[in-house]
Chain A
Amino acid sequence: MASELRVNTLKDAAGNNSIATSFVANGSAKAWHHYNQSGTLATVDSFNVSSAADGGVGITRTVYTNALANVGYAVSGSHNLPSGNTASWVSGYDNSADFTTGQVTCSTFNAGSGRVDATKAMMSIHGDLA
């Protein structure tokens, strides 16, 4: 049988640096995804990600292994560009159907030419697990 510890608060051995276990659960990232959009979409590294889908240039859907409790979770991201080092950013996709408890679609943008495939695209989510 797996060992299980039920506790409300964690402190260091000196009794300092107290943190409620609710912060451990709430504060942990529930998923992160590093992927390469160039050519065939490829996951480089991930946590709680079951699959990814290429929706076109600069559009990637990340599907979670374990779903979130609701669609109130937070998404953040970053990426490079295939060439050069000009401005770029990650943002949400076009409509709410692409932002559910089980998946999110992110767009990667180049400031000058709209969506772009990146070789190093990254995203993470924080929120409540179902």
Chain B
Amino acid sequence: MSEILVNKLTGTSTAGSILVTGEGNSTTTNLQQGLAKAFCSIELDDTILESLNATSFTDNGTGDITHTLASAMSNKNHVTVGYNIRNNNGGTAWSGGYGNSSDTSSTSTTARIYHLNASNSPEDQRRAMMVTHGDLA
């Protein structure tokens, strides 16, 4: 069995670009760009259950969370998606991007996400989750 022990992977031609052969054994995908750069799962009592590069957050109000990214992204254009497990009221809930067209609350070091119920109201969730993709600085 082949095994490599290493603390850091760096590309030879471009330091931040390593290709990985995909599951179909031919097409390659970019390792750095495909990796999630942050994720976080928060319990209703504001306990962070598990996270990567999102070690703290700000509770802006009901259902409104700004995650702080420990290692910055290259810009504010990152992709942040979310998911909820609703509180004990049951029923449906979903996650949405926060803000209107002029909103600047998501930056290279923050990702703001909104959690709502099916009645169109922001709501604190039993578990709120997010994943961020994009380029690290």
- A→B interface (CB under 8 Å): 2-3, 5-15, 21, 24-30, 32-34, 38, 44-45, 47-48, 66-67, 69, 76-90, 111-112, 118-124, 128-130
Contact = CB atoms under 8 A, between A and B. Distances in A.
B101 to A, nearest CB: 4
B81 A66 contact: no
Interface of B: 1-7, 9, 12-13, 20-24, 26-31, 33-36, 75, 77-83, 94-101, 103, 106, 113-114, 116-118, 120-122, 131, 133-135
Given A47-B34, A87-B120, A129 B80 contact: no
Nearest to A48: B29
A129 B27 contact: yes
A78 B118 CA distance: 15
Nearest to A69: B24
Contact of A123 (B5, B22, B79): B79
Interface-central residue, A6, A85, A118, by most chain B CB under 10 Å: A85
Contacts of A128: 22-24
Contacts, number: 163
SS class, residues of chain A in contact with chain B: loop
B17 to A, nearest CB: 11
A38 B101 CA distance: 9
A86 B9 CA distance: 42
Contact of B20 (A28, A33, A84, A87): A28
A33 B101 contact: no
Given A80-B103, A87-B120, A88-B96, A34 B30 contact: no
A85 B98 contact: yes
24 contacts: A3-B12, A7-B3, A9-B4, A21-B20, A25-B21, A25-B22, A27-B35, A28-B35, A30-B29, A30-B34, A33-B79, A34-B79, A47-B133, A48-B29, A69-B23, A69-B24, A76-B83, A78-B82, A83-B101, A85-B122, A87-B118, A119-B100, A120-B99, A124-B131
B24 A129 contact: yes
Cβ-closest 9 pairs across A and B: A28-B34, A129-B22, A128-B23, A80-B97, A45-B77, A119-B101, A88-B96, A122-B79, A32-B133
A44 B121 CA distance: 28
B11 to A, nearest CB: 9
B101 A82 contact: yes
